[in-house]
Amino acid sequence: MTVTVPGPTLGVVGGGQLGRMLAEAAAPLGVEVIVLDPTPDCPAAPVVRDQVVGDFDDEAAFRELASRVDALTFEIELADADLLDEVADEFGLSVHPSPETLSLIEDKLVQKRALADAGVPVPPFHRVDDADDLREALSEFGSVMLKARTGGYDGRGNVPVHDESDVEDAIDAVGGPAMAEAFVDFERELSVIAVQGDDEVRTFPVGENIHEEEILRETVVPARTTDEVLERADEVARDVLSVLDGRGVFGIELFETPDGDISVNEIAPRPHNSGHWTIEGARTSQFEQHVRAVLGWPLGSTARRSPTVMANVLGTVDEARPARLGSVESVLAADGASLHWYGKDEVRPLRKMGHLTVTDESGEADEDAGERLLTRARDLRDGLTFE
């Protein structure tokens, strides 16, 4: 294909931090971005061409967005897949990843069934429509993680269940159709950011994810595991992509067991929090790759520039209040450190407000690089305060 700049205008359903970073990556390519989001002056608003204010299932808002762009994508699974398909067809636009893929992924049970049917390794799972179903899963698997089939993120909609005394409360907490997944005795959590282009697939180096309270805190690249595990994780991620239709970036979360086995935890059909390290740490960021992929442009290099650690900046307040981050000078003065602020007006407990990365300027992935960078990233992150 022939690519010229200025390029097309890309419509993005969702205007949160992912939409913001997509627009930041699109601008140097000559691609303008218009987002649709229900929050006026959403985080992406300062860096995009325009925002259409509307809910993620607002037909009029979707049609307005489609009438003003040359291609469509999304940065949030709450986007209405059927409506995306409808307006794309009506206005003659491409939409990537495909609405069918979005429908498959947004329901965790449908997602797991599709992966299992394709021979992709996943933890044992059980459909849960009521308390009896959950009791059956407990009897079969022992302790389980009860997951809402739709809408859950950052640990929301996930409830650990260890015995029958937890069943009723867990069902009430999830509040709808769910899936019980057997607890995995994992050594570490990994993720692969994979890119599906027009006729090629590329993967970024495997990252190691550190969670607390079901929320991602840090990602270490390269992951601190064996070469054999890294190779297997990449192989499984590529197998996952064979199940999914459409171009774009996919965040694929994995479990590594003590025996070195790999299974798929969850998939995001969009840039992913565990891929934020790529902005400073890779030749082409996950956000630029997503723009390239959904437009059908050639993909960039996924090679790592240097060992990198990403640390999320979460709300450390007890209750919601206007967002103002202090002690930023410590990050700005640190060699190899970069700060990304998401532009959210309000800070809430454990809300993702930004992230920082720390890179090893030597570029050498020595045995201690991950631990050294992780300690440094945590120290810098923990020195930030909400005033």
Residue 164 annotated as lining a ligand binding site: no
Residue 182 assigned ligand-binding role: yes
- Residue 119: CB atoms within 10 Å: 10
Q: Is residue 352 annotated as involved in ligand binding?
A: no
End-to-end CA distance of the chain: 51
112 is in an annotated binding site: no
Q: Are strands 346-347 and 321-322 parallel, antiparallel or unpaired?
A: antiparallel
Q: Which residues contact 117 (CB under 8 A, 6 or more apart)?
A: none
108: annotated binding-site residue? yes
The H-assigned helical ranges of the chain are 17-26, 59-67, 81-91, 99-106, 108-117, 131-141, 167-174, 227-241, 278-281, 286-295, 329-332, 369-382
Cβ atoms of 90 and 84 within 8 Å: the answer is no
Query: Has 147 been labeled as part of a binding site?
Result: yes
Burial category of 313 from C-beta neighbours within 10 Å (exposed 0-12, middle 13-18, buried 19 and up)? buried
Q: Which of 233, 236, 246 is nearest to 116 (CA)?
A: 236
266 a known binding residue? Answer: yes
- Token match 């049917």: residue? 117
- Answer yes or no: is 340 a known binding residue: no
The total of other beta-carbon atoms located within 10 Å of residue 252's CB is 28
- How far apart CA 239 and CA 254 sit, in angstroms, is 13
Question: Binding site annotation covers 131?
Answer: no
Do the annotations mark residue 158 as ligand-binding? no
Q: How far is CA 46 from the centre of its chain?
A: 22
CA angle 314, 318, 171 (to 5 degrees): 80
Could you list the residues known to form a binding site, using ranges: 108, 147, 181-184, 189, 211, 265-266
Binding-site residues for ATP, in ranges, read 108, 147, 181-184, 189, 211, 265-266
